[in-house]
Every structure is written in structure tokens, then in C-alpha cells.
Amino acid sequence: GEDVEQSLFLSVREGDSSVINCTYTDSSSTYLYWYKQEPGAGLQLLTYIFSNMDMKQDQRLTVLLNKKDKHLSLRIADTQTGDSAIYFCAESIGPTGTASKLTFGTGTRLQVTL
């Protein structure tokens, strides 16, 4: 079955870079996603990467994908207090019928200190 793992907590100082890591097990995943959840809110898509890519950059966000090791990371440059949230990685486990089923990791709580 599919399993997505993340470390539970990360603390960084404002202005530093944050790196959040994720490992997944389904080698047939086609898309991998990073979602952000702020306190008391639902999840919001930050970025995603197609499985045939190694890297994707989007402003302060850099996603690295190592398919051999099934390892995904999210780097946030110049981390700000507004980046404090829970970050979830998720893998697409392929459509069943026409739904886009995702398997989510446990989430990493990012704490940004002054």
C-alpha cells in the first residue's frame, strides 16, 4: 500500500531557509504535491511536481524530487513568520474512475522564530 512519511516538527529562524522532507513508497505516483495548512483552516495547494521532473522552482519555493530514493523536499527561502503552518506532502495514486485520489503524509509543523 501507499505510505507517505514526514518529520513532525521543524523550527527555523526568520530569514533562514527551511527544508521540509518527505518520503513516499508508490513508485507509480505521477504527481507529488505540497499543501499548506494554516491554523483553523483547510489545506491550500502550494506547489506540485510531475514525476518526470527533478526540480521545480516557484518564487521562494524549490521542490526537489529524487525518484530513485522516493524522496521529496520543499525548500522555503527567506522564511517569514507568515510561513508558520503545517505542510503536507501528498502523492497522486492515480485516478480511480475519474477521481484524483491522493495519499497525504502526516504533516510537518513549521515554526518560525524571530
Q: Report the interface residues with other proteins, using CB under 8 A.
A: 4, 8, 30-31, 33, 40-45, 48, 88, 92, 94-102, 104-107
When the beta carbons of 34 and 83 are compared against other proteins, the nearer one is 34
The residue type found at 64 is L
Task: Tell me how far, at minimum, the Cβ of 13 lies from other proteins, in Å.
Answer: 25
The answer to whether 77 and 57 are in contact (CB under 8 A) is: no
Task: Tell me how far, at minimum, the Cβ of 105 lies from other proteins, in Å.
Answer: 5
Task: Tell me how far, at minimum, the Cβ of 48 lies from other proteins, in Å.
Answer: 7
When the beta carbons of 59 and 98 are compared against other proteins, the nearer one is 98
The answer to whether 34 and 46 are in contact (CB under 8 A) is: yes
